[in-house]
Structure 1
Amino acid sequence: MELLDVLYEKTNGMAKITINRPQAYNAFRGRTIRELIWTFRDAWDDNRIGVVILTGAGEKAFCTGGDQKEKGDEGGYDYNGGLGGGIGLEIENLHQTIRNIPKPVIAAVNGYAIGGGHVLHVLCDLTIASETAKFGQAGPKVGSYDAGFGSAYLARVVGEKKAREIWYLCEQYSAEEGKEMGLVNKIVPADQLQAAAEEWADKILAKSPTALKMLKYSFNADSANIQGITQLAMGSLAMFYNTDESAEGMNAFLEKRPVEFNKFRK
């Protein structure tokens, strides 16, 4: 597959996948998602690979979710990417691939991990953050949501109260705050992030691949039911994107004006 939005390299048993849209704060479009799925599956199929590192290009962002500028006229992400659960993105497929690849996935968060980008790092097995990393959700601010893994699994990680705070308030949290709530395993200076991720990858590569695979399956088992919730959530999101309420969030973001959701409470 020709890669335009993602950088992919395999060395010494580790695969490194980099979202390469720094001009858009590594926000994803349909092609980005397809390339991420392809690279993760390639790492899955390559028996020489024992661990995957996911990161973002540049210093500003890990990933800031769906690119609002790429949304179609009907609210969905019109990228010629197939139905993608109805929203034009194969995001369910990507989430399942990250969860099910039988190898540990390390998120190296180098900046903003916001919205759908925040969900990606939460789904990874481990998260190492730079001191400049920022975490948070934005969906309700822009007329969107992830009521599947993005909320239900997040609650498993940080607890119900904190997960509700993250989604209801849409504030941003520092790396230190992320570590306190259990979102982050380790914090390092920005210039040491990739080296720290590779150091952990090397430690993982020294372990039994079968043991790691079975442990990952065991960790996933307790939250496997969320996949069904995700299908319902993405189906409802596809319908929501066609409403004036969702469009108000997107238009306010693009027009850089205050959002006016109060009119939808009448």
Structure 2
Amino acid sequence: MSPAADLGRALCIITGASRGFGRALAQNVSRLVQPGSALVLVARSGPDLRTLQAELTESEAGRAGLKVEVVVADVGKAESLENIMRTCREAFCEDMDHVMLINNAASLGDVSKYVKDLSDMAQVDSYLSLNVSSALCLTARVLQAFPQHAGLRRSVVNVSSLCALQPFRSWGLYCTGKAAREMMFKVLAEEEPDLRVLSYSPGPLDTEMQLEARSKTADLSIKKTFSSMFAQGQLLTCEMSSARLMKVLLDDKFTSGDHVDVFDV
């Protein structure tokens, strides 16, 4: 099967879209959808989102008819999901042939603590709400709002991590959240055979989250590893990693529910 030339006339929802990897994803997707498509970009930072919206609206894709909507929201809150879905329904056109959700929003959590120090249930609940519950509930709402029918492709991408598969000392919250999401989307792939589900690990990216990891990680060996990667120029750019994700989606050779690492592409 030859790779697809584009993502079709799509409604694409991207969470955590204002900075870093999410911003790069929005830029790449905008170049790979057909005229008449719509992007719904979600993040907590309004100014950054609106700057990106203006950039994409003024781009070649924007001038060709790409609609770019933004939702300033904390996806960890129920009322935010309502606002996102309202915008998605308004942006969707009946002649669209693809609905894609990219669950990118995430936080590192408190990496200054080991598991034995995580005794504050409110802190843990808050982390899991943003990093696990929101992805599950938003995905469910998108699938309910846009049910399967002839002529409509539906894709769900979970932005994952090596931490979904391997333990990192003092990264208990982050590893737990990523592992939970990984299994959640594997179950979804089993339940919905017509849905294309992918967990993509973008690799060690040069982002604010990576800076936080180098600065605050309690475990000295993990901290040294990330600091060395930065010092030796081994971090990946968001643009390069997001382009590899686009290649995986266009090639469409993965088994639904698979975990694909950037270094496997």
Question: Structure 1 length normalisation: TM-score?
Answer: 0.30
- TM-score when scaled to structure 2? 0.30
